Structure 1
Amino acid sequence: MNILLLFLFGLLSISQLGAQEITRFRLMTFNILQGGGNAKNVGFGNDLYGGSRIDEITSAIKIARADIVGIQEDCSIKSNIILNELGEGWFRAGKLYSKFPAKLIHSNKDRSLEVVDVKLASSRVVRIVNCHWWPNNYGPFLAQGKLRADPRVELNSLAKLVEAKGARRGGTRGYRATIAPTEEAIEEKRAIFLLGDFNEPSHLDWTEHYAKNGSDRWVDNPTGIPLRLPVQWPGSVLLENIGMVDSFRQVHVDEVQKPGNTWTPPYSQRTPGRRPYGDQVLDRIDRVYHHGNNVKVVSAQVVGEKGDTSDIVIRGRWPSDHRAVVIEYMWKN
């Protein structure tokens, strides 16, 4: 009798665990810089990480308790080095790694974009779009250049300039390729999640509120004019217009109190291949979006190197020039 009760209790526990996996999951976006390889040209040589950054990258994923992670700059097309390091129980579909079965649906290599279906349960398949927008004509750097040339420049004109010029790189930055599969999933009334390195700020961060109350985004600004003007960044505006919700900003509604910057962790002025850290513009360019009536954001956290910039702190040397972001979701029903 006791053995039977223990057996039934075990079945119940397994059933409850399965229900938890269905109702909640943690989704992460992480630009790992040059595939996690020997990025000595920009100050991330393997010798600084005991021979490889892969250990630190996968440790960050595990410490963040991610169930699904979309990686940008994953160069391991011909190997499963990241998958192997994550260990048993993980699946791979393109540049997305998941504890649930996943299938690559579409890949646009020209735009560094992938569409993946993830099977959370027999009756629940969600679509995830993993994107990496073009870095060229980076809007904040354009603004820096104009301020350097003329600190008296009219800020509204400057905002319009970076909106227009920052959006283009022989075509749009990656907007169209991202919008198409996203809108398709919305029209099919299915849950969709969009994550990536957008290489463009969000209009939800560059606001009037931030312009009046936020800190200077330029680390060491020599112009005397703080870089914190309101800008309607085209990419994030387009995503909002089709109904995509910025998961981090839905939880952390005050962009001054919680900027959530992912670009870029501090580095030595002697770092090769990078502009002086004082010339950097700090921003939240790594983001996760969601759409679906039954989707609720439970938490939104930055994963990185220290407590004043990160909610989840990874000890030791941080392995990328981007911080990561992890969002926990649950189903309302």
Structure 2
Amino acid sequence: MRRILALALAALPVLLLAQPAHSAPDGTLTPTSATVLVGDAIGFSYTTPLPNAKNWVGLYSDPGNGPVNEQYVGPSTKWVYTAAASGTGSLPSAGLTAGRYILYFLRDDGYAWAAPPVTVQLVATTQPRFVSTAFDLRNAKVGTAYSATVGGLVVGNTTGLTFRKTSGPAWVAVAANGTVSGTPTATGIAPVGIRATNASGLTADTVARVEVQASVLVPTLKVLSWNLWHGGTQVGGYREKQLRFLLEQDVDAVGIQENEGSAAQQLAQALGWSYHQNSDIAVLSRYPITATGPVVAGSAIAATINLGSRSVKLWSAHLGYTPYGPYDACFGRMSTSQLLNREAQSGRTQQITSIITAMQADLTASSSVPVLLVGDFNAPSHLDWTGGNSRCGYGAVAWPTSTAPQNAGLTDSFRQANPNPATAPGNTWSPVFKTYTGGYGYDSHAGEPEPQDRIDFIHYRGPLAVQASQTVVEGTPSQTNPGSNAWTSDHAAVLTTFRVS
């Protein structure tokens, strides 16, 4: 679910008017230094033959949501106006995480380049550390060459970082760039001690575990549905927290919503995983993505994941968020027929219909290639709003976004594992928002308890067996100070463990 947020000054607004054709960038942009310590100013100089009071320089993470094609993708991290024909400027780096960033010099409050973009590297001043002190890498198989990486899993001062093996079985090697490789000789868990050392001689240690299988590479598949909440950017240190969560939960495949341009790409590059994304939704996988598509514009994408002995097809979906059914029910006291009409008005009914239609070939082939439909549906389930489980005084409500997958032969994995909605509600909206803050036409209810509901799902069809399914949140998220939360989303995630047949 996407909250209606006021635009902050740090994010330049999207221009809704048509922009003129872009001319070639004819100015210059030069960083004062290509490497900047976190906390220091990012200095630059610039020139342009077309000075304008609304020319500006913006800082974007790399990879990120910068205007790579001279069009808006997402908000800048920091920005400043640069009105003169030439001059110098600076942007603060306080609060940013170490990593690679891109400076863009842009024209007239728009996204046409005034100069070619340039990169800068923010370097942390803290000691390096692995995002987790112990975690699992992808599985291996006896007698088959293996490769994974830990090279992107160190934060802090990573200048000149190199890796080496400190312990583990003889078949495993750890390269200086963090690649873990070899050909396993026996089944079982292979713990590999790894040390990272930066240019200053400071070190960090971890244990990476490799589970070696005899025949079936991935006998158990852990699938996550995760709305990132604007990519995670509402919470301090979000990328490190996201990486730690994925590793420590031992997740294999993720359907992402609110990708914020490139969150999946950044996570995949750090983890050494595969990804498929658009600006809002993504599929992230520990195992190789071998094909992508179809796409349902504005609501779903799909990717085929190779698990070794078989493949699975994972669809990630994000449906419209307004109007919102639980508000219409709990605040608006609408009739059941009105609720269903409002679902159609929201676009969700047509979206789920279009997704199921696009999935037909995959559903037909699901006996050999299991298919998963995961995502933030922004609507409850008819399996929760039942005659025996009253919600806001309502009995059974046939929410279309849950009846359509069921009618297509898909199974709600959470409700299969937890059949009683009264004792296991599985609410995913919202661990952060416990008090309603207004909007959606119900401002008079601000300050009342936020209606809690299960609006994120993992549906499946094919030769998979549900072993467990639960909602996942870390810590106790705060609504008043979300920036300090351990949990980087405003949704609970859904995690289902499948046995692969």
With the length of structure 1 as denominator, give the TM-score of the two structures: 0.75
Q: Specify the alignment match of 1:233 in structure 2.
A: 399
Q: Trace 1:29-40 onto structure 2 (pairs within 5 A).
A: 29-37=225-233
Q: Specify the alignment match of 2:137 in structure 1.
A: none
Query: Structure 2 vs 1, CA of residues 289 and 267 (structure 1 numbering), >3 Å: closer, same or farther?
Result: closer
C-alpha displacement at 1:18, in angstroms?
A: 5.9
C-alpha displacement at 1:265, in angstroms?
A: 1.0
C-alpha displacement at 1:67, in angstroms?
A: 0.6
Tell me whether 1:82 sits opposite 2:267 in the alignment: yes
Q: Which has the higher mean CA deviation after the structures are superposed, 130-139 or 182-191?
A: 182-191
Structure having greater relative contact order (Cα 8 Å, sep ≥ 6) = 1
Q: Specify the alignment match of 2:370 in structure 1.
A: 191
Tell me whether 1:317 sits opposite 2:486 in the alignment: yes
1:278 maps to amino acid: E
- Secondary structure of 1:27's counterpart equals strand
2:224 maps to amino acid: M
Q: Which has the larger radius of gyration?
A: 2
Q: Trace 1:1-333 onto structure 2 (pairs within 5 A).
A: 11-13=185-187, 16-17=212-213, 19=215, 21-37=217-233, 44=234, 46=235, 49=236, 52-77=237-262, 80-85=265-270, 87-88=271-272, 90-94=273-277, 95-106=282-293, 108=295, 110-121=297-308, 123-147=309-333, 158-169=335-346, 172-189=349-366, 190-211=369-390, 226-267=392-433, 276=446, 278-292=448-462, 294-305=463-474, 317-332=486-501
Percent of aligned pairs with the same residue? 26
Distance 2:218 2:264 in 1: 30
Structure 1 gap ranges (5+): 1-5, 38-43, 148-152, 212-216, 218-225, 308-314
Q: What is the aligned-residue RMSD (CA, Å)?
A: 3.0
C-alpha displacement at 1:175, in angstroms?
A: 1.1
C-alpha displacement at 1:180, in angstroms?
A: 1.9
Distance 2:404 2:432 in 1: 31
- Secondary structure of 2:302's counterpart equals strand
2:465 maps to amino acid: K
Structure 2 gap ranges (5+): 1-169, 172-182, 189-210, 477-483
C-alpha displacement at 1:168, in angstroms?
A: 2.6
Contact 2:348–2:401 (8 Å) recurs in 1: no
Alpha-carbon deviations, 1:75-100, whole Å to 9, x = none?
A: 23398322233x23x11122111111
Contact 2:220–2:500 (8 Å) recurs in 1: yes
C-alpha displacement at 1:279, in angstroms?
A: 4.4
Q: Which has the higher mean CA deviation after the structures are superposed, 235-244 or 13-22?
A: 13-22
C-alpha displacement at 1:170, in angstroms?
A: 5.4
Distance 2:264 2:254 in 1: 17
Distance 1:288 1:78 in 2: 21
- Secondary structure of 1:164's counterpart equals helix
Q: Specify the alignment match of 1:3 in structure 2.
A: none
Query: Structure 2 vs 1, CA of residues 273 and 235 (structure 1 numbering), >3 Å: closer, same or farther?
Result: closer
Query: Structure 2 vs 1, CA of residues 31 and 18 (structure 1 numbering), >3 Å: closer, same or farther?
Result: farther
Contact 2:434–2:449 (8 Å) recurs in 1: no
The structure in which a higher percent of residues are strand is 2
Distance 2:353 2:223 in 1: 23
Alpha-carbon deviations, 1:88-135, whole Å to 9, x = none?
A: 3x11122111111014522647323101000111x4111111000111
Contact 2:436–2:450 (8 Å) recurs in 1: no
Distance 2:340 2:328 in 1: 10
Q: Which has the higher mean CA deviation after the structures are superposed, 20-29 or 201-210?
A: 20-29
Query: Structure 2 vs 1, CA of residues 304 and 170 (structure 1 numbering), >3 Å: closer, same or farther?
Result: closer
Distance 1:270 1:23 in 2: 43
1:134 maps to amino acid: G
Query: Structure 2 vs 1, CA of residues 320 and 327 (structure 1 numbering), >3 Å: closer, same or farther?
Result: same
Q: Which has the higher mean CA deviation after the structures are superposed, 11-20 or 28-37?
A: 11-20
